[in-house]
Amino acid sequence: MSLLIKNARVIDPSRNFDEVTDIFVDNGVIKGFGMFTNADEIIYADGFIAAPGLVDMHVHLRDPGQTDKEDILSGCEAAAAGGVTSLLAMPNTVPATDSAETIKYIREKAADAKAKVYIAAAITKGLKSEEATDLDELKEAGAVALSDDGRPVGDLSMLINAMKRAPELGMTVTAHCESLEIADGGIINEGEVSRKLGVPGIPAAAEDCGTMREITLAEAFDVPVHICHVSTKSSVALIREAKKRGVKVTAETAPHYFTFTEKELLKRDADYRMNPPLRREEDMLAVIGGLADGTLDAIATDHAPHTPEQKSDFVAAPNGSIGMETSLAAGITALVSKGYLTINELIQKMSTSPAGILGIEAGSLREGSPADIVIFDMNESHTVDPKLFHGKSRNTPFKGMRLKGKVKYTVVNGEIVYKD
């Protein structure tokens, strides 16, 4: 089966390529660029951008165990609609992704999904920091990363062992940086808004102490670590200084942290509650600055589906928001349109860089590469309507917003899996 994408502006940050041309795909692989005339299927992409499919390195698919919120297939439907062709599934499932058996279940179910599902396996059994998992078994079963995301690893010896073993196994440690003692049951950022609402707050220090801990370990043992969902001004500064010292640290943030501040919580709407929480304006601007100067390497969504019933109570609701269907448009709207990043730099942070951090075959449009491609109109505006989403959940902070940028096609292994 051949596919021809005609007259697109092709952007590939992996080789500094940015030209209007055709892409010819055959049997799921990119075969060439230039002027082509015929194929089994043709996409006329005049005025559109064709880029490497997005790589979302922080996704909660809720499967197994919480499939009322999302499952592997529905989550990948959402991914396809957002231009995400590869994603990293986090391990806080039920049961946790801490065994070869659970990894096998995820891989088998993902075989028919509309995106490629890579797996982050747990560092500790049940994410409880009581017993270490068998890292060799997890690697052999197919995991590419290690994390207890949802919670920090409480036992330092287990975390250090994982950080040391991960490079040997060709895996990436992605770290949820939080001091649970400092967070102390808070539900939004500690500050003016939490005091006004009379709800417990999470100090920025909870994240910052966790970030400093992971950086210290990476530096002490000269091993890599990836910092998840950075939200504070202080953590951005800690990562920036660590990079200057040569520490092997990479980091991600999420679209909600460069779009919103804690003031959204005045609505008492739990769709704006996530962990880490929305912070102050100075934190939001620091996150944007960290993206602009390269301190923050990647943009991931921390896609965290919940049911409307669970999100109906502002105080009792679980943390988390969904994001795969809005992430590209959010980046174009908040970063590219305002001049903080070029569209090439945005694609780098949403595709090429996360693929490199995870060491997966993605994030590039080269001859011989898998034909995983997002085609989008950078200038088309739309209003976010959660009723039109393709996943099971609707808990988005972007609801009702006017965003710029629209995914028109998503291609995985040369097959069109989404068409606007």
- So which residues are the catalytic ones? 302
Distance of CA 173 to CAs 67, 123, 218, 314, 352, Å?
26, 9, 11, 33, 18
Alpha carbons 238 and 234: distance in angstroms, whole number: 6
Listing DSSP states for 331-387 in one string gives: HIIIIITTTSS-HHHHHIIIIIHHHHHHT-S-S---TTSB--EEEEEEEEEEE--GG
The count of other CB atoms within 10 Å of the CB of residue 133 is 24
Distance of CA 227 to CAs 107, 230, 240, 264, Å?
25, 7, 12, 25
Pairing between β-strand 29-34 and β-strand 116-121 as defined by DSSP bridges: unpaired
Strand ranges in 162-296 using DSSP code E only, listed in sequence order: 172-175, 188-189, 201-202, 225-227, 249-253
Please answer whether residues 417 and 80 qualify as being in contact, where contact means their C-beta atoms are separated by less than 8 angstroms. Answer: yes
Tokens of 80: 């396809």
Alpha carbons 211 and 228: distance in angstroms, whole number: 9
Please answer whether residues 319 and 271 qualify as being in contact, where contact means their C-beta atoms are separated by less than 8 angstroms. Answer: no
Q: Does residue 42 sit in helix, strand or coil? A: strand
